[in-house]
Amino acid sequence: MTIQELLGKDLPELEVIDIHAHMNRPAQFMCPGDPDIDGMIAEMDRVGISRIAIAPNMAINCDVVLGNKMVLEAARQYPSRVMGLATVNFNDFEESMESLKSCFATSHFKGIKLHPDFMHYSVRESDKMRAVLDFAQEKNAFFISHTDERVIPGHLNLYSHPDWFEEYIRDYPQVNFLLAHCALSAEGYRTCLRLALEYDNVYLDTTGFRFSSTWTVQDLVRNGKGDRVVFGTDIPFNDMGSAGGRIILGHLSLAEKIKMLGGNAQRMLREI
Ligand SMILES: [Zn+2]
């Protein structure tokens, strides 16, 4: 059964956009679903997702240049279904920026992706951040970053605290910022909410675990920021069905659900 059928029979035209997804098998987690593009497209058809924005695990974990080429290939194979997210690695910055330029020389890329926590660099590296954001602004691309407020001694350092994005959000009002996972903690969520309340170019997604889930979405609606929530599955870390349930089964109006599943992403992508 598709999302459209679950929401109501008069919604066959609802375009559902998964704005935060990956591809190919990662090293960190067990991912029982099919992580390759053909399997992902088949799952999108089953669930009712029209388009998907992808940063391959190869790009966010390992080899940015190869990963960016992988998503370009997938987008060429499924041009109406796949939107590329070009990944940048601050530890290999010049090569990353060259790769970014060749990605956006094609028409298949819509966003620029950072994963500071997997790659162990900080978004406080201001020169690199600003070079990426200058490029995003020039190409009318949205910016998406993993965010994480947590410190776990011996395991997690701070690389992507949501507070650290504020200067960039303020200085680049024409770039839409998607702060993925609402920073993965209650305190991180509160910071993300504050940023969404203060800045029109801040969006938050439904990917991740506890702190970007149904209650967060409902809290954003209570605070008048339901129009900044965009749907993401984080496939293959999560499966598409449970990701959809966060919105479909939430205490939300049908209009709010429809916006979160597609309309808000279309606005973030500057399509409407
Ligand atoms: Zn992700």
C-alpha of residue 21 to centroid of ligand 1, in Å: 6
C-alpha of residue 207 to centroid of ligand 1, in Å: 7
Give the pLDDT mean for 29-39: 88
C-alpha of residue 129 to centroid of ligand 1, in Å: 19
Least confident residue range of 30-34, 79-83, 184-188: 30-34
C-alpha of residue 153 to centroid of ligand 1, in Å: 23
Alpha helical stretches, state H, 78-222: 93-104, 116-119, 126-139, 166-171, 186-198, 214-222
What residue numbers bound the domain in which 199 lies?
Answer: 3-268
User: Is the pLDDT confidence value at 29 over 90?
Assistant: no
- What residues form DSSP beta bridges with 54? 21, 84
| pLDDT (0 to 100) of residue 143 | 98
How far apart are alpha carbons 263 and 230 in whole angstroms?
8
C-alpha of residue 222 to centroid of ligand 1, in Å: 26
How many structural domains comprise the chain? 1
Question: Cα dist. 256→86, 145, 209, 218, 247 in Å?
Answer: 29, 24, 21, 10, 9
User: 194-246: per-residue pLDDT in tens?
Assistant: 999 999 999 999 997 677 778 889 999 999 999 999 999 999 988 899 899 98
User: Is the pLDDT confidence value at 258 over 80?
Assistant: yes
Least confident residue range of 65-69, 199-203, 208-212, 259-263: 208-212
| pLDDT (0 to 100) of residue 238 | 87
C-alpha of residue 107 to centroid of ligand 1, in Å: 23
C-alpha of residue 179 to centroid of ligand 1, in Å: 11
| pLDDT (0 to 100) of residue 257 | 96
Is 65 buried (19+), middle (13-18) or exposed (0-12) by CB count in 10 A?
Answer: middle
Q: Are 160 and 148 in contact (CB under 8 A)?
A: yes
User: 86-129: per-residue pLDDT in tens?
Assistant: 999 999 999 999 999 999 999 999 999 999 999 999 999 999 99
C-alpha of residue 9 to centroid of ligand 1, in Å: 31
User: Is the pLDDT confidence value at 141 over 80?
Assistant: yes
Q: Are strands 142-146 and 17-21 parallel, antiparallel or unpaired?
A: unpaired
C-alpha of residue 236 to centroid of ligand 1, in Å: 9
| pLDDT (0 to 100) of residue 156 | 63
**Helix H or strand E segment including 90:** none
DSSP 174-194: TS-EEEEGGGGSHHHHHHHHH
C-alpha of residue 234 to centroid of ligand 1, in Å: 5
| pTM for the full predicted model | 0.96
Q: What is the CATH number of the domain that holds 37?
A: 3.20.20.140
C-alpha of residue 194 to centroid of ligand 1, in Å: 22
Least confident residue range of 7-16, 170-179, 221-230: 7-16
C-alpha of residue 32 to centroid of ligand 1, in Å: 16
Give the pLDDT mean for 180-197: 93
With cut-offs at 50, 70 and 90, classify the pLDDT of residue 33: confident
Could you list which residues have their CB under 5 Å from ion ligand 1?
234
C-alpha of residue 208 to centroid of ligand 1, in Å: 7
